Amino acid sequence: DTAVSQTPKYLVTQMGNDKSIKCEQNLGHDTMYWYKQDSKKFLKIMFSYNNKELIINETVPNRFSPKSPDKAHLNLHINSLELGDSAVYFCASARSGGANVLTFGAGSRLTVL
Amino acid sequence: AQSVAQPEDQVNVAEGNPLTVKCTYSVSGNPYLFWYVQYPNRGLQFLLKYITGDNLVKGSYGFEAEFNKSQTSFHLKKPSALVSDSALYFCATSTAGKGNDMRFGAGTRLTVKP
């Protein structure tokens, strides 16, 4: 039973399209995240939600819109995809509190052509 | 704002030799520090963390890390490297509060050669 699951694992699409990535966790955590890992493997936080409330919203284009229908799910919708959006997107979850460990999903590799 | 830095993009060691992957931090107040490992095509996996207490922290797979407040460092170590330790290693820091804002270093690729 996967703790943090993301779908799809791979996504290949054309520039200008809109796509979504879904994430679900079954750990009972109250905080969920989206991170972007670029081609140089740099890992950058995009968003975090705590109990469906947006807590962290980094400098991310407003084409990216997270949605948390409940505290076990955090989806990422991307409008008008650009070449630079190609990356691996990781979902993670944790119990709130700075000392708590993040559990990561396996990642969703987005390729924009 | 809190941050960590990993000064080495790449570390190469021979199997059986000790390994060190370096990390320095810039945090106001008491830092929460972590090490994660990423194997190819996988998500990050937790190795160990420092919150408070003993400066030497032991973690998974025989790894340990030493918290050094005077040098603001949290280097990852292992006494005897294995080929299977080859992976990407990330140092991270987070803050207290419900946001649990975890920030990662740029990563260090460890290659252990037979």
pLDDT in tens, B77-87: 999 999 999 99
Question: Which of A1, A54, A53 lies closest to A27, judged by CA?
Answer: A1
Which residue in chain B is spatially nearest to A103 when comparing CA positions?
B45
What 3 state SS string does A95-112 have? CCCCCCCCEECCCEEEEE
Question: Which of A38, A34, A75, A31 lies closest to B98, judged by CA?
Answer: A31
User: From its phi and psi, is residue B47 left (phi > 0), alpha (psi between -120 and 50) or beta?
Assistant: alpha
Asked if residue B99 has pLDDT above 80, the reply is no
Picking from A23, A33, A39, A41 by the largest number of B CB atoms within 10 A of its own CB, the best residue to mutate is A41
Taking the CB of residue A64, how many other CB atoms lie within 10 A of it? 18
Q: Quote the pLDDT of residue A101.
A: 92
Q: How much is the mean pLDDT over chain B?
A: 93
Taking the CB of residue A21, how many other CB atoms lie within 10 A of it? 22
Asked if residue B98 has pLDDT above 60, the reply is no
Q: Is B11 helix (H, G, I), strand (E, B) or coil?
A: strand
pLDDT in tens, A8-47: 999 999 999 999 999 999 999 999 999 999 999 999 999 9
Q: Which two tokens stand for residue B50?
A: 């420092």
Q: How much is the mean pLDDT over chain A?
A: 93
Rounded Cα distance between B104 and A109, Å, is: 19
Q: Which two tokens stand for residue A32?
A: 């969920």
pLDDT in tens, A50-63: 888 888 888 789 99
pLDDT in tens, B17-56: 999 999 999 988 778 999 999 998 889 999 999 998 899 9
**Rounded to whole angstroms, what are the CA distances from B98 to A44, A79, A95, B22, B44?**
19, 29, 9, 29, 21
Which residue in chain B is spatially nearest to A107 when comparing CA positions?
B43
Beta strand pairing status for A4-7 and A19-25? antiparallel
DSSP 3-state percent helix, strand, coil across chain B (nearest 5): 5, 50, 45
The answer to whether the CB atoms of B107 and A96 lie below 8 A apart is: no
pLDDT in tens, A86-105: 999 999 999 887 688 999 99
Q: Which two tokens stand for residue A106?
A: 């396996």
Rounded Cα distance between A17 and A25, Å, is: 27
pLDDT in tens, A29-38: 999 999 999 9
CB contact residues (below 8 A), chain A span 74-93, against chain B:
90, 92
Asked if residue B102 has pLDDT above 90, the reply is no
Q: Quote the pLDDT of residue B46.
A: 96
Q: Flag whether residue B2 sits within 8 Å of chain A, measured between CB atoms.
A: no
Q: Quote the pLDDT of residue B96.
A: 66
Residue B97: band (very low, low, confident or very high) from pLDDT cuts 50, 70, 90: low
Q: Flag whether residue B40 sits within 8 Å of chain A, measured between CB atoms.
A: no
Name the percent of chain A lying above pLDDT 70: 98
